[in-house]
Structure 1
């Protein structure tokens, strides 16, 4: 399913901002894309994911949608997903995952 950003869309949005060394940005992008295709997309409650690489080379943003916060938390606890989460954390210098609700679209 494609990402739809709308105030009335019944989803929970994850925005995870990773800070990386420029020489590792492509590695993290590839890891997140592969993990999404191979694992996350098959988990209950997954809606979509979009991986963004900053043009300065030091950030990667994962904008993902889940049906609800419980589905997102279940993914975090899933033993198949955990190695991918750990690998991303190892590549990144830091990361800031937070759940959001869409409040306005223009």
Structure 2
């Protein structure tokens, strides 16, 4: 299970992919498969979660890496270039590099 950690030692990415509704699940499935097969096994990977907007027009990826250098090394890996090309062909990726400042959990089981 992914955790949203406010640790200043982690590099956090929120990537919002604008996509046609008929491509939303296809893109999500692609992102999940590439993460399962390659990305999660790379040095420095911490976690990734994927979200579908209810209007069908976005796929949102929340990811954390041990460091920006680890993230940049993943992004430069030639095995992933076809993945990035595909994402750009079916969507409009908007990566946002973030600092997590606060994270809250439920205070009771009913809230979870």
TM-score, normalised via structure 2 length: 0.86
Where do 4+ consecutive residues of structure 1 move more than 6 Å? none
Q: Verify: 1:91 aligned to 2:90, yes or no.
A: yes
Superposed, 1:66-81 pairs within 5 Å as 66-81=65-80
Partner of 2:15: 16
Count of matched residue pairs: 104
Could you list the per-position Cα deviations for residues 11-70 of structure 1 after superposition, in whole angstroms to 9, with x for gaps in the alignment? 111100000000000110000000100110111111111010001000000101111111
Partner of 1:60: 59
Return 5+ residue gaps in structure 2 as ranges: 105-112
Partner of 1:103: 101
Separation (CA, whole Å) in 2 of partners of 1:6 and 1:69: 15
2:15–2:93 contact (8 Å) kept in structure 1? yes
> How far 1:9 moved relative to its partner?
6.1
1:3–1:65 contact (8 Å) kept in structure 2? no
Separation (CA, whole Å) in 2 of partners of 1:47 and 1:14: 11
> How far 1:98 moved relative to its partner?
1.9
Q: CA RMSD in A?
A: 1.3
> How far 1:6 moved relative to its partner?
3.0
2:13–2:64 contact (8 Å) kept in structure 1? yes
Return 5+ residue gaps in structure 1 as ranges: none
Bigger radius of gyration: 2
